[in-house]
């Protein structure tokens, strides 16, 4: 098996003012095999040294038997990789990346409630997991997606998740904004939401955390202080 896969961008969509969706067709296989929640490491043409060309991105769609994968990428001012994606990449641009990897995935049997806590593009692996569960009728309990960002224009996949709440009563979707004044929903950081919703420790919950390291580190500390066990907390760090 070759070390790398080759692909090219077949579509680019604006998802938010500083966030784009990139659709990539994998050329080497008819079906790309991966587990919902996994990521790929790309080797991008952004530096002379190989190690500084490597960047990892979570796959934002669920495995569906095709060779199309999606990435949700936010622009970081001065970032070599995001400058490449936002300034240089276009439909037809070739990409080289390693096979999907990572252990931030769903259990084989979902016999407990899932609470997904994320900020910004940290929603990507959760979108993959949620799609996988609902598209394949995977037996599950309650699912609660808690998404945090600064302003309402930065809410990612909003209509998609809102539609899922109408189809699946066991799916709850909470958005909290930390700097938006014109907003009737939750305000502040994600921590306030799960602290309120899950104040009393329960053994039938698993928390999944994904986003910037500061948020994830703080959430782990808060959940432990609330009485939850290490085994109930899974995490994926960005940056």
CA distance 67 to 214: 34
User: Domain residues of the chain, as ranges?
Assistant: 4-98, 113-238
Q: How far is CA 210 from the centre of its chain?
A: 7
CA distance 155 to 37: 20
> Residues near 215 by Cβ (< 8 Å), separated by ≥ 6?
119, 122, 148, 189, 190, 209
159 CB-contact burial (10 Å; exposed 0-12 / middle 13-18 / buried 19+): exposed
Q: What is the pLDDT of residues 160-189, one digit of tens each?
A: 999 999 999 999 999 999 999 999 999 999
* Burial call 43-64: b when 16+ CB within 10 Å, e when fewer: ebebeeeeeebbbebbbbbbbe
- Per-residue pLDDT band for 3 (boundaries 50, 70, 90) equals confident
Q: Is the predicted pLDDT of residue 26 greater than 80, yes or no?
A: yes
| pTM, to two decimals | 0.96
Q: Which residue has the tokens 């806590």?
A: 117
Q: Which region holds residue 149: left if phi is over 0, alpha if psi is between -120 and 50, else beta?
A: beta
User: Taking residues 29-58, what's their average pLDDT?
Assistant: 96
* Average pLDDT over the chain, rounded to an integer: 96
Report pLDDT for 32. Answer: 96
Q: What is the pLDDT of residues 60-98, one digit of tens each?
A: 999 999 999 999 999 999 899 999 999 999 999 999 999
CA neighbor of 57 nearest in space, from 217, 210, 216:
210
Q: Is the predicted pLDDT of residue 221 greater than 60, yes or no?
A: yes
- Domain at 113-238: CATH code: 3.40.50.80
Specify the CATH superfamily of domain 4-98. Translation factors (2.40.30.10)
- Per-residue pLDDT band for 239 (boundaries 50, 70, 90) equals low
The CA radius of gyration of the chain, in Å to the nearest whole number, is: 18
Same CATH fold, 113-238 and 4-98?
A: no
Q: What is the pLDDT of residues 190-199, one digit of tens each?
A: 999 999 999 9
Report pLDDT for 139. Answer: 98
CA distance 69 to 65: 11
Report pLDDT for 19. Answer: 98
88 CB-contact burial (10 Å; exposed 0-12 / middle 13-18 / buried 19+): exposed
């Amino acid at each position: 098996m070759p070390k790398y896969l080759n692909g090219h961008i077949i579509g680019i969509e604006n998802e938010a003012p500083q966030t784009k969706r990139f659709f990539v067709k994998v050329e080497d296989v008819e079906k790309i095999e991966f587990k919902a929640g996994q990521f790929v490491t790309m080797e991008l043409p952004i530096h002379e040294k190989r190690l500084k060309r490597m960047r990892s991105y979570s796959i934002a769609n669920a495995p569906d038997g095709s060779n199309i994968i999606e990435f949700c990428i936010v622009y970081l001012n001065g970032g070599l990789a995001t400058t490449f994606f936002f300034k240089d990449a276009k439909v037809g641009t070739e990409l080289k990346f390693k096979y999907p990897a990572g252990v931030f995935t769903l259990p084989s049997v979902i016999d407990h409630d899932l609470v997904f806590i994320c900020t910004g593009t940290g929603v990507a692996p959760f979108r993959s997991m949620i799609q996988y569960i609902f598209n394949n009728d995977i037996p599950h309990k309650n699912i609660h997606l808690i998404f945090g960002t600064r302003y309402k224009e930065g809410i990612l996949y909003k209509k998609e998740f809102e539609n899922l709440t109408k189809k699946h009563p066991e799916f709850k979707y909470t958005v909290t904004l930390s700097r938006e004044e014109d907003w009737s929903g939750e305000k502040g950081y994600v921590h306030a939401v799960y602290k309120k919703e899950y104040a009393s420790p329960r053994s039938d919950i698993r928390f999944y955390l994904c986003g910037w390291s500061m948020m994830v580190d703080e959430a782990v500390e808060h959940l432990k202080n609330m009485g939850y066990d290490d085994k109930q907390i899974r995490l994926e760090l960005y940056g």
